[in-house]
Homo-oligomer: A and B are copies of this chain.
């Protein structure tokens, strides 16, 4: 790379370090920190955030970036250097266009709003949360205004989490998906239900942990470059390309929880760990957008981890861990149990077939809220109407409805669609992988994942954040992001399980 690029990289390295350090402060808070440390930890995180913001908005970075932009003008636009400059510009613009005061207001409101949401959910009292939500919607509209002109006011919010995607594109994808997914669920629910009671017995937590470790070790998780801890809400976090940690949560009376959460987080971690070391300590290091990240976690959790071939290999192992609970449960019964479909109220407990509908509901409401077509005070009715339409259910309380998710209290409007897009992309990739690895199912049946992981590394992981999701999916599959592979995947899977 040239000297101007090197100068830019030197400057960015410090910002990247601050990001990793902030992540460590957060990880420690979730896994280790004694309770009384919370106030001081907040001060430290604010200090790190302020230092990063100062650097992002500094004259020095502005100049270094402009010089680097001039230098990459004639280069291959796919080169590391050109992509580094492009992604840095995107990130710097976000910091520069929005005044620092805005972010201070946002984090202040987020703290108050989170507390209000928590109480509102506990007491099933939407009205307690409403004024905070209204202020948050106003504040997020203000955020969007810094990026005008835009096609849709929701675009800048969406791009906070999913750069390169437009509201209109997401709506088009989901409009295509929705009727097919609703129809599928209606077919499934008209069939006799499968029995998942064998999963709901007492399972020793240490054995659950050990089995999960055995599985992700086979996936290729590198314990020299990562570790697993317990946390109330499982997550993956990076402190560099060689320190990518996962967390899990174990439920003693439900074996599927820790198991699939561990595979899910491992999928995230493998993405970050697979990044080309040449991108280390730059904004290109580690996985790209949230949707691409979710495509990786869902791929390992669902397309691998809830598949028949996977369990043909691992079920005897699981039975050996839990002979008393599973010794007399057939592979087929177990497989059906972990793939049970049941429309339910709570997104985070939803199965593969219904999950996306929870997301689509939120996306609709967010777009209407931001566009001013829906007022916050009408949210509960709108929520319940959608639930009835999509899933045939009406939440008995707002706590089980509109108040169930934490995201809005943090100001994370635009985040939800990435979950569903991740599902869609995972299936789209899965079809591409099958073309390149025709005997993939046999490999999985033998507990072999090296070729699969190699494919993901080559096509996705090594690029870090060089490519945005729509571009990368197009490059790999030759198609834009599409819901059809996911629908094909669900149809095929549930046709067998539910005898449709």
Residues of B within 8 A of A24 (CB): 24-25, 28
Shortest CB-to-CB span from A114 to chain B, Å, is: 21
Contact among B14, B39, B44, B243 with A242 in the assembled complex (CB-CB below 8 Å): B39
Shortest CB-to-CB span from A240 to chain B, Å, is: 3
- Cα A24 to Cα B275 with chains together (Å): 26
Contact B43 A13 (CB under 8 A): yes
- Cα A48 to Cα B212 with chains together (Å): 36
Contact among B34, B37, B225, B280 with A34 in the assembled complex (CB-CB below 8 Å): B225
Q: Which residue of B lies closest to A33 (CB)?
A: B243
Shortest CB-to-CB span from A14 to chain B, Å, is: 5
Given A17-B44, A21-B44, A37 contacting B281 (CB threshold 8 A): no
Residues of B within 8 A of A224 (CB): 34-36
- Cα A24 to Cα B47 with chains together (Å): 14
- Cα A21 to Cα B243 with chains together (Å): 17
Residues of B within 8 A of A41 (CB): 239-240, 243
- Cα A37 to Cα B229 with chains together (Å): 16
- Cα A25 to Cα B240 with chains together (Å): 13
Residues of B within 8 A of A242 (CB): 34, 36-37, 39-40
- Cα A241 to Cα B39 with chains together (Å): 10
Is A156's beta carbon under 8 Å from chain B? no
Shortest CB-to-CB span from A423 to chain B, Å, is: 30
- Cα A226 to Cα B222 with chains together (Å): 30
- Cα A369 to Cα B281 with chains together (Å): 42
Give chain A's interface residue range (CB within 8 Å of chain B).
Answer: 35 or more
Given A34-B243, A36-B225, A225-B34, A43 contacting B17 (CB threshold 8 A): yes
- Cα A383 to Cα B115 with chains together (Å): 63
Shortest CB-to-CB span from A296 to chain B, Å, is: 20
- Cα A43 to Cα B239 with chains together (Å): 11
Is A437's beta carbon under 8 Å from chain B? no
- Cα A33 to Cα B242 with chains together (Å): 10
- Cα A40 to Cα B48 with chains together (Å): 17
Is A193's beta carbon under 8 Å from chain B? no
Interface residues of A in 219-277 (CB under 8 A from B): 222-227, 229, 239-243, 245
Contact among B13, B14, B36, B241 with A243 in the assembled complex (CB-CB below 8 Å): B36
Is A32's beta carbon under 8 Å from chain B? yes
Residues of B within 8 A of A96 (CB): none
Give a binary string over A1-21; 1 marks a CB under 8 Å from any B CB, 0 the rest: 000000000000110011011
Contact among B14, B25, B39, B47 with A47 in the assembled complex (CB-CB below 8 Å): B14
Is A495's beta carbon under 8 Å from chain B? no
Contact A48 B28 (CB under 8 A): no
Is A329's beta carbon under 8 Å from chain B? no
Shortest CB-to-CB span from A23 to chain B, Å, is: 10
Pick from A20, A47, A229, A243 the residue with the most CB of B within 10 Å: A243
Instruction: Identify 21 residue pairs between A and B in the complex whose beta-carbon atoms are under 8 Å apart, listed by A's number.
Output: A13-B43, A13-B47, A17-B44, A17-B47, A20-B40, A20-B44, A21-B44, A21-B47, A24-B25, A24-B28, A28-B28, A32-B229, A35-B224, A36-B224, A37-B240, A37-B242, A39-B240, A39-B242, A40-B240, A40-B281, A41-B243
Q: Which residues of A contact B (CB under 8 A)?
A: 13-14, 17-18, 20-21, 24-25, 28, 32-37, 39-41, 43-44, 47-48, 51, 222-227, 229, 239-243, 245, 280-281
- 3 closest A-B pairs (Cβ-Cβ)? A40-B240, A37-B243, A36-B242
